[in-house]
Amino acid sequence: MVLQLSIAGCRITQKPDNADTIIINSCTVTSNADRKTKQYLRRCLRCNPKANIFLTGCLVDRQAKELKKEFPGVNLFINSKKPNIVKALGILQSTVARGEMQPSFLGHTRAFVKIQDGCNGRCSYCVVPKVRQELWSKNTEDVILEAKNYVKAGHKEIVLCGIRLGKYKSTADLIDLIKKLEGIKGLYRIRLSSIELNDITDSLIGLMSKSSKFCHHLHIPLQSGDDTILKDMNRPYNTSKFFNKIKNIRKKVPDVGLTTDIIIGYPTDTDKTLNGSYYFVKKCAFSRLHIFKFSRRPGTKANLIGKDCPQALAKKWQGKFKYLDSELRKKFFKKFSNKKMEILTEENGYGYTSNYLYLKLPGKFAENEIINI
């Protein structure tokens, strides 16, 4: 969408206050995401009432009628109609060739390339398949062209994004796509945003172990470390399968950073299940945790469960998991004490390693440089 608007001659701004047109892309994974979208929309309406405002994304797909009532002056676009935004603005597309122009990620050293969308999973808590069930993969040649243009714009790291990256399938699969991206001169790193456990094949692990560009980092959503809850969630693995897989990854890629998502307070959670989840997460020795409080989503099986995990219990374990996250990060950092590491520098004096350590740089370094310290 940003690319279409840039090609059409629009100037992009990150500040809604002085924009002629504001486009908000929404998420509806949690009730908190819904709340934040509406909160930001109200803020835009207050600070810039003359702007032409468009709201798109999964929240619109799920609640178009309700949103039209609540925000009558806002234009709503479901995901499949995003291209119509350019037409609605009355802007004529220029004759710039496909892939010739690519906007850079202002203020970012990394560029994010969406290569896949949609999920046909059956997780009991997740609303995504309700709004994006159809699996979609971007044409491989378009991905390569997009990545080349980001590299030309100065980006040294490309992050491949998608709801189910492991389901990417065009003229190449995910592994072949990564191999093709490795051939781009000036591209130093290729990172995956997130990948499901069952989509991590031996071939993918093997490629990571041999590649000089494929980042040694995987974000693998666990959600719960208790087998009873995993079954309730309809997750397609148990703790034994999960642990054996990450053990195999570490065997092939010893310095790998493994991060994960954890949901606290699923309706059937108890002190016992949360305790079991806690100790399994500790056993897995993740390098970072993303902790989420369970959020009921209309239309999901979890929303039909006629009980709730007590709020006090969920809050107690949220605190415990946050502390565990801090301890796991420290433990992972210590593994690399006194070792030389390659870092992609950022303007704030920090930088990321390939395995997703976020480090403060010892001195002044130019932004967007690969350095060894």
Q: Output 68-71 pairs: Cβ under 8 A, ≥24 positions apart.
A: 70/38, 71/41, 71/45
Q: Contact, 296 vs 305, CB < 8 A?
A: no
Could you tell me if 196 and 313 lie in one domain? yes
CATH number, domain containing residue 47: 3.40.50.12160
Q: Classify strands 136-137 and 116-117 as parallel, antiparallel or unpaired.
A: antiparallel
Could you tell me if 226 and 264 lie in one domain? yes
pLDDT computed for residue 4 by the predictor: 65
pLDDT computed for residue 2 by the predictor: 66
pLDDT computed for residue 92 by the predictor: 54
pLDDT computed for residue 370 by the predictor: 94
Q: Could you please report the per-residue DSSP string of 176-242?
A: HHHHHHHTSTT--EEEES---GGG--HHHHHHHHH-SSB-SEEE---B-S-HHHHHHHT-S--HHHH
Q: Record the tokens describing residue 133, joined without a space.
A: 């069930």
Could you tell me if 77 and 225 lie in one domain? no
pLDDT computed for residue 77 by the predictor: 73
pTM of the model as a whole = 0.86
Q: Residue 363, CB half-sphere, CA atoms under 13 Å: how many?
A: 4
What total number of domains does the chain contain?
3
Could you tell me if 133 and 75 lie in one domain? no
Quickly state the pLDDT bin for 63 (edges 50, 70, 90): confident
Asked whether the predicted pLDDT for residue 27 surpasses 60, the reply is: yes
- Tens-digit pLDDT profile for residues 298-356: 899 999 999 999 999 999 999 999 999 999 999 999 999 999 999 999 988 999 999 99
Report the pLDDT averaged over residues 80-103: 57
- Tens-digit pLDDT profile for residues 133-167: 889 999 999 999 999 999 998 999 999 999 999 99
Asked whether the predicted pLDDT for residue 171 surpasses 60, the reply is: yes
φ/ψ (deg, to 5) at 159: -105, 120
Could you tell me if 134 and 225 lie in one domain? yes
Residue type, 83: P
CATH number, domain containing residue 157: 3.80.30.20
Domain region containing 352: 339-373
Could you tell me if 120 and 14 lie in one domain? no
Computed over every residue of the chain, the mean pLDDT equals 91
Could you tell me if 299 and 347 lie in one domain? no
Could you tell me if 127 and 254 lie in one domain? yes
- Tens-digit pLDDT profile for residues 183-193: 999 999 999 99
Residue 96 lies in a domain: no
Cβ neighbours of residue 122 under 8 Å, at least 6 residues apart? 129, 234
Residue 103 lies in a domain: no
Residue 306 lies in a domain: yes
| Beta bridge pairs of residue 232 | none
Residue 104 lies in a domain: no
Could you tell me if 273 and 205 lie in one domain? yes
Could you tell me if 322 and 344 lie in one domain? no
Asked whether the predicted pLDDT for residue 3 surpasses 70, the reply is: no
Could you tell me if 312 and 359 lie in one domain? no
How far apart (Å, rounded) are the C-alpha atoms in residues 318 and 265?
A: 9
Residue 291 lies in a domain: yes
Could you tell me if 168 and 276 lie in one domain? yes
Cβ neighbours of residue 44 under 8 Å, at least 6 residues apart? 16, 22, 24, 51, 53
Q: What percent of the chain has pLDDT over 90?
A: 72
